[in-house]
Amino acid sequence: MSDFPFLVTMIAVPAVGAAVVAALPKGRELLARQLSLGVSLVVLVLAVLAAVAFDTGGERFQLTTSVAWIPDFGVEFALGVDGIALVMLLLVGLLVPLVIGASWEDGPGGTPEERPVRFFFAWLLLLEAMMVGVFAATDVFLFYVFFEAMLVPMYFLIGRFGGPRRQYAAVKFFLYSLVGGLVMLAAVIGLYVVSASELGEGTFAFDALRQLEIDPGVQKLLFLGFFVAFAIKAPLVPLHTWLPDSAAEVPIGGAVLLVGVLDKVGTFGFLRYCLPLFPDASRAFAPLVLVLAVVGVLYAALLAMGQSDMKRLVAYTSISHFGFIALGIFAFTTEAASGAVLYMVNHGIATGLLFLVVGMLIARGGSRQIGDYGGVAAQAPKLAAVFLVAGLASLALPGTNSFVSEFLVLLGSFPERLVYAILATVGIILAALYILLMYQRTMHGPARGVVAPAEGAGSPPGGTADGAGATAVLTAPARTAVRFHDLSVREIAVVAPLVVLIIVLGVQPQLLLDIIEPAVVATLDDLGATR
């Protein structure tokens, strides 16, 4: 089974599916939904089969495919996965069908003429193909191509289907990412020149590049080129300002993939490229990165506490969590780095669920403002229960999946990075405050007056959009109480897998750690760091 081209198929299936869905004629919206869900489930099955075929005790990169692409420049269409990439592919395979299920009834919201459902789902599938490619690429130039190509579907998901400020958010997202990509392109070219001078001919193959003996001064320049692009994508403070705007305006389905997966490309890039290819520079810049990581943990947590918009609050919590991930990566220990990779997966699960539940709440109430809600638990106890599980996982309560990740990051960081670990620990306290306050204000207390989405405005059941374009929140005297219906069967089917994973991975994190740790050890060996 290991000879099957899993990775190529996982890219081709959603890419072809996106083209087919986009080509459907008007009025075939149900078929667009069915095809999109079917394609995403095929990718999930392929990801699971790839995990079964993966040998945790075998070669570092497995399920490989390599075809000459641009031979004159040593570029290959080369794919392969180690344990780090494999768990990210599993996360992609899991979240996309859940997002499609959550977006089933009205897709991005609005009328079909304004926001065609088939194009919304087509962009989701194309984004899935690009995300698989970026995690599976073992040729640096191919990685760069997928890295930049991801911008296109997410740009249209924000700019075409987002909220009132969608154009501003889409342009900001695109410009930040494009600038980072251009800086990385310069570093990619520099890396090719260095490989040509040492090997006699240039190459972009990861295995060949990590064997190079690059001058420490040159390493620092190349490291910075890759680091800036990854720090923007992650995002690390102070390069984070695009994320709250994008997450607030993109439909909930897009927000789940943006924060749950796409942003992980930054932290994945630190591990895959910065540490193995530029070990001397990584050690030299580690104190600076750790400062940025800890500042991000605390600064974003404080900003989250002051948010009145639920989607922006969740976005800021994610920036704080990315600080923990960066701390684990640049602590240079097996425990911390393994915890960071596990955190990447667990954050996608917990924050994905939190975004979905927030979207379901917004779809019912027609407002993103925390102050417009109250007493929802009395009317929708199942929704409140899932909200609580998602919140507790986000604040890393023991017994939930995120706890083990955070614990490993801090455990591995304390011996080597004591001061940074102590400061980051304060973020745990702040996380409890902003999550529990949001839950208490929306789910309990007296019912507040909010306005339901306007009739015929295409309000998205299942929380697939934020109500933008459907209605505005009325002034306080005109508000009327809204009857919040509880989770539907479809919504339960969407959130149930994430709830189960939060509990299962909280009890049995070794299911993923067995896959992750060999790749982490190999990365630290390339770095020459302590384990």
pLDDT at 115: 65
pLDDT at 472: 37
Asked whether residue 312 is domain-assigned, the answer is yes
pLDDT at 80: 95
Asked whether residue 363 is domain-assigned, the answer is yes
Asked whether residue 287 is domain-assigned, the answer is yes
Asked whether residue 182 is domain-assigned, the answer is yes
pLDDT at 464: 41
**264 to 104, 115, 382: CA distances (angstroms):** 26, 28, 30
Asked whether residue 504 is domain-assigned, the answer is yes
Distance from chain centroid for Cα 248: 15
pLDDT in tens, 68-90: 999 888 899 999 999 999 999 99
Asked whether residue 317 is domain-assigned, the answer is yes
Asked whether residue 1 is domain-assigned, the answer is no
339 vs 333: CA distance, rounded Å? 10
Residue 102: partners with Cβ closer than 8 Å, 6 or more residues away: 252, 253, 256, 356, 359, 360, 462, 463, 464, 491, 494
Q: Which residues of the chain have pLDDT under 50?
A: 111, 451-478
Domain count, the chain: 1
SS3 labels along 52-119:
HHCCCCCCCCEEEEEEEEEHHHCEEEEEEECHHHHHHHHHHHHHHHHHHHHCCCCCCCCCCCCCCHHH
pLDDT in tens, 377-397: 988 999 999 999 999 999 889
Among 290, 341, 350, 360, smallest CA distance to 318 is for: 350
Expressed as residue numbers, the domain containing 211 is 6-527
Find the largest Cα–Cα distance for the chain.
76
Burial category of 215 from C-beta neighbours within 10 Å (exposed 0-12, middle 13-18, buried 19 and up): exposed
Asked whether residue 88 is domain-assigned, the answer is yes
Q: Helix (H, G, I), strand (E, B), or coil: what is residue 413? A: helix
Whole-prediction pTM value? 0.90
